[in-house]
Structure 1
Amino acid sequence: AGLSATGLSVPWACSILLCPAPGWPRDCSKLPAGSPSGVYIIQPTGLPPIMVYSEMNGNGGWTVIQRNHRDTPVSWDESWSTYKHGFGNVHTEFWLGTEYIHQITRQKVYQVRFAIWDASNNMKFADYNLFSLGDESQGYQLRLGAHSGTAEDAMASKGTTTMHDNMKFSAKDRDQDTSSGNCATSSGGGWWYSACYSVRLNFKGGMTWEFKQSKTKPGMSWECAWGSLQRLVICSY
């Protein structure tokens, strides 16, 4: 099921229909300063209201588009339609929906942050100063800008066989990668695959963010988990 506001129960002091809201914000960056992190309703241009998790710590106003952990009950091995409309629980682990992500990123120039915690609670992040998705007819093609942060650029700087930037989104029933096989099927979840990945975040049972190999620092993969503050979050601002 998608993450539409309609019919969902939320633990707020007022019901959705009674909350004083002359107009929903178009994304989490439009929430009032000082608002706590949590579930809010936004209304991107041209869409009905949707429920999202807003991360308000730090500089605040981040719209969370994905959250996952190693022991999640969510199955990431989903169809194109399910990925399009979103699935999971917005309070815990979820995918917001490729169509919603596309519509949100049409509104202005967005940046994206990938925040990862390993099993020892070490945190790293990768920021990209441009983030957008094409529409469905374009395969929800991913566009990323310049990288910064403490996690290496595993999304855009790897070789052509594991590149994610400029790739179309693939699901188990819609193969748009550059591999002779279906990366979404073999990798257990939908993603912007080439052939196949250096980053695998839509996966049940452990996630991967690869680091470059060197003589002094061997290559490593971060296994991300949610629980005891060990988690993975992807959010746009």
Structure 2
Amino acid sequence: MAAQCLLLLACVLVLAAAGHSIHIQTLNIFKKSPSNTLASALKKTSWPKDCSEVSAGSPSGIYIIQPTGLHPIVVYCEMNVTDGGWTVIQRNWQSTEITWAESWSTYKYGFGNLHTKYWLGTEYIHQISKQKVYQVRFVIWDAANNIRFADYNLFSLEDESHGYQQRLGTYWGTAEDAMDSDDPRNVHNNMKFSSKDRDQDTYRGNCASHSGGGWWYSVCYSVRLNVRGGITWGSLCNGNCKASAILIKPALYH
């Protein structure tokens, strides 16, 4: 039976390598049935804790990781940018078919297609980020399809009981510092995550309900990446960004 389970896992990896659509929910069965045989077989295998532990020289693509204390999950690893090892936690296109107007529980465990547009899951992002000291890179394709980035040398998410509050470090990059601001109406640093059914912003209404998707809102945003159309990054592209991605990896210096 264990051999059959490992064969099933091998099929998942072959499909991923062949470019087929493998959805994030593929391994959620481990969370729901941790005692099943496939989960037991996987527990006997040593998986990288994040994409930084994937072997150097490996291609970008879909990998299985197992953050400390969590079941194995499927992620997309970006191995070709700035020495590689980036775990991609979000990707969106202006022309996406995903509505992004999802519930708290859907954002918690993730949705979408790892090959195209998706949200990894706030719980999984938290579990990864608590392992080490992490940095984050926000990649923005502006209205002219130029690639810009905003790096923050520290990144973490608090647990669900603290609202998945986001904490960012010092900015550096070619896009403006749109995630942090002295204006409390536009700040996203130190904000809790909000969804259409869980309002944790500082606005009198629900930013997630009328702004299109879950995010670390204040009153309401200068950055809006989890949205169908209308991708925004400060004054760089106000609703007409072409695409976005969010990548994390262990910080080099801390």
For 2:202 and 2:119, the matched residues in 1 are separated by 23
Q: Which residue of 1 aligns with 2:72?
A: 49
TM-score (norm 1): 0.86
Using the TM superposition, give the Cα deviation of residue 123 of structure 1 relative to its aligned residue in structure 2, in angstroms.
1.0
TM-score (norm 2): 0.80
1:144–1:166 Cα contact (<8 Å) kept: yes
| Code of the aligned partner of 1:234 | I
Supply the RMSD in Å over aligned alpha carbons: 2.5
Using the TM superposition, give the Cα deviation of residue 104 of structure 1 relative to its aligned residue in structure 2, in angstroms.
0.3
User: Aligned with 1:81: secondary structure?
Assistant: helix
State whether structure 2 residue 240 is matched by structure 1 residue 223.
Answer: yes
For 2:239 and 2:149, the matched residues in 1 are separated by 12
State whether structure 2 residue 252 is matched by structure 1 residue 235.
Answer: no
For 2:144 and 2:219, the matched residues in 1 are separated by 30
For 1:178 and 1:69, the matched residues in 2 are separated by 28
| Code of the aligned partner of 1:95 | W
Matches within 5 A, 1:35-114: 35-58=58-81, 59-114=83-138
Matches within 5 A, 1:117-136: 117-136=141-160
Matches within 5 A, 1:133-144: 133-144=157-168
User: Aligned with 1:169: secondary structure?
Assistant: coil
2:229–2:239 Cα contact (<8 Å) kept: no
How many residues matched? 219
Using the TM superposition, give the Cα deviation of residue 26 of structure 1 relative to its aligned residue in structure 2, in angstroms.
0.3
| Code of the aligned partner of 2:58 | S
For 1:121 and 1:131, the matched residues in 2 are separated by 26
Using the TM superposition, give the Cα deviation of residue 12 of structure 1 relative to its aligned residue in structure 2, in angstroms.
4.7
2:225–2:231 Cα contact (<8 Å) kept: yes
Higher helix share: 2
For 1:162 and 1:117, the matched residues in 2 are separated by 21
For 1:222 and 1:174, the matched residues in 2 are separated by 24
Structure 1 unaligned runs (5+)? 212-218, 226-230
State whether structure 2 residue 223 is matched by structure 1 residue 206.
Answer: no
For 1:13 and 1:147, the matched residues in 2 are separated by 35
State whether structure 2 residue 139 is matched by structure 1 residue 115.
Answer: yes
User: Aligned with 2:100: secondary structure?
Assistant: coil
1:69–1:206 Cα contact (<8 Å) kept: no
User: Aligned with 1:90: secondary structure?
Assistant: coil
Q: Percent identity?
A: 64
For 1:220 and 1:96, the matched residues in 2 are separated by 24
Q: Which residue of 1 aligns with 2:31?
A: none
The structure whose RCO (Cα within 8 Å, separation 6+) is larger is 1
Using the TM superposition, give the Cα deviation of residue 223 of structure 1 relative to its aligned residue in structure 2, in angstroms.
2.3
CA spacing shift, 1:163–1:9, aligned 2, 3 Å: same
For 2:197 and 2:17, the matched residues in 1 are separated by 41
| Code of the aligned partner of 1:179 | Y
Residue 198 of structure 2, aligned match among 168, 174, 192: 174
| Code of the aligned partner of 1:170 | S
1:210–1:222 Cα contact (<8 Å) kept: no
Structure 2 unaligned runs (5+)? 1-7, 19-26, 28-37, 250-254
CA spacing shift, 1:64–1:137, aligned 2, 3 Å: same
User: Aligned with 1:160: secondary structure?
Assistant: coil
| Code of the aligned partner of 1:76 | W
- Show CA shifts across 1:143-181 (max 9, x none): 000000011100012510111000000000000000000
1:179–1:195 Cα contact (<8 Å) kept: yes
